[in-house]
Chains A and B, each alone.
Chain A
Amino acid sequence: MTDPARAARRATIRDALGLGVAVGLYGAAFGAAAVAAGLDAWQACALSLLMFTGASQFALVGVLGAGGGVLAAVGSAVLLGTRNTIYGVRLVPLLQPRGGLRRLGTAHLVIDESTALALAAPDRANARLAFTVGGGSIFLGWNITTLIGALGADALTGASLAALDAVVPAAFLALLWPRLQRSWAEPAAQRRVALGGAVVALALTPFVPAGVQVITAVVAVALAGRWRR
């Protein structure tokens, strides 16, 4: 291996590990949010192990925490999970997962961050490396910090519980925030859709069963998505 190739490899691994550590912080927020929503630590950890896609996990516990039923919670999580299908399609030519088992294992690591790392890599070998190291380190960090967050939140009472209640919407806002910035494609349309989603959800809150207003907010996509260009 030539020196530049080795340097590119090192840079890829460094970026991938760095992102793993950073994303781990969200894991602690998720574990705490899950407990605040009424799940136990086992359920919080099961979600991070088995679902392993942050926005869907937050949505599931968010809807359950608002008093929503199984269908509304699962529906919201699955709708947010459709992103990963598109990511998978983009990743196939880069990763070329061969064989059924390989494909099933690779699929579990397909999330926002591992996709971004693989797509940003300079070539196919580095893309695979970035995907595997990044996805693996995020999986590890995310699961460890979920447990820490869940156990920590379990011990809270009084004012610190009120603090946790305020942290949960802020965590959702932090997930949403990058999509509304200028660096995102069509930020103006994204902002309209976001505003529409919030208004629809609040307007429906008094009238529909708890949690249903969240999943119904997707109508904002049709209303504000600017379909003609």
Chain B
Amino acid sequence: MSGLWLAVLLGSLGCYLLKVAGLSVPAAWVEHPVVARVVDFVPAALLAALVAVQAATSGSALVVDGRLAGLVVAAVALALRAPFVVVLLLAGLTGAGVHWLGSGG
């Protein structure tokens, strides 16, 4: 099996078991304040890390290109409460625009 399929299937199994656990284990196990707090904060840390890695790295290098420009535009659009589709369209147009400028038009 390829590594990609292994990741897809293992990840799916892990996430499903976590869902089943929630419906099966005694509430007291997961309602400990420390557990609840960690679970509440983990998404912010991981999603922000993914934003940074997706927007500003390539392999092991930090890079600045159209993705970062698109991210800035997306942040402005989100701050202005633009709908999700508009945010993605603006980011995509920005990325394409920078690519076009970079390749000499």
Interface positions, chain B 6-21, Cβ under 8 Å from A, are: 6-12, 14-16, 18-21
Contacts A58-B50, A198-B51 given; indicate if A205 touches B62 (C-beta within 8 A).
yes
- By size class, the interface of chain B is 35 or more
Interface check B43, CB cutoff 8 A: yes
Contacts A56-B11, A218-B46 given; indicate if A193 touches B41 (C-beta within 8 A).
yes
A-B contact count (CB 8 A): 299
A153: shortest Cβ distance to chain B, in Å?
11
Interface check A147, CB cutoff 8 A: no
Q: Name 27 A/B residue pairs within 8 A (Cβ), A-sorted.
A: A25-B85, A38-B4, A46-B8, A56-B11, A58-B50, A59-B46, A59-B50, A77-B14, A83-B39, A83-B42, A84-B15, A104-B20, A165-B95, A166-B69, A170-B70, A174-B78, A176-B47, A176-B48, A179-B47, A180-B44, A190-B41, A195-B48, A198-B51, A199-B52, A205-B53, A210-B60, A221-B44
Taking beta carbons and an 8 Å cutoff, which residues of B are in contact with A?
A: 3-12, 14-16, 18-25, 27, 30-31, 36-57, 59-62, 66-67, 69-71, 73-75, 78, 84-85, 87-88, 90-96, 98-100
